[in-house]
Amino acid sequence: MTSVAGAPTPRARIVKRSLTISAHRTSISLEDPFWRRLKALAAERSQSLSALVAEIDASRLDANLSSAIRVYVLKRAPQ
């Protein structure tokens, strides 16, 4: 993969994890940096990862869960 400037763009590894959300087991695939930041956000809120993902799941509109998580993380990224 190459960036616009022609320099190579590092590829983020996709990590698939299984979580229980509202008594329902589900698998979510996200790039590793998103998982790390999501875990940090959950810790900042004194929540489990599953509890935070359940909140995101409950508030998403038409997006799939992985996309909704990415948007959630990006909206909370330091400026």
Binning the chain into helix, strand and coil, the percentages to the nearest 5 are 45, 25, 35
In whole angstroms, what is the distance from residue 59 CA to residue 52 CA?
Answer: 11
Q: Band the pLDDT of 79: cuts 50, 70, 90.
A: confident
Backbone angles phi, psi at 48, to 5 degrees: -75, 160
CA dihedral sign, ordered 46, 50, 18, 9: negative
Q: Could you tell me which of 46, 40, 52 has the C-alpha nearest to residue 77?
A: 40
The predicted-structure confidence for 2-13, as pLDDT tens digits, reads as follows 555 666 666 778
The predicted-structure confidence for 35-75, as pLDDT tens digits, reads as follows 999 999 999 999 999 999 999 999 998 889 999 999 999 99
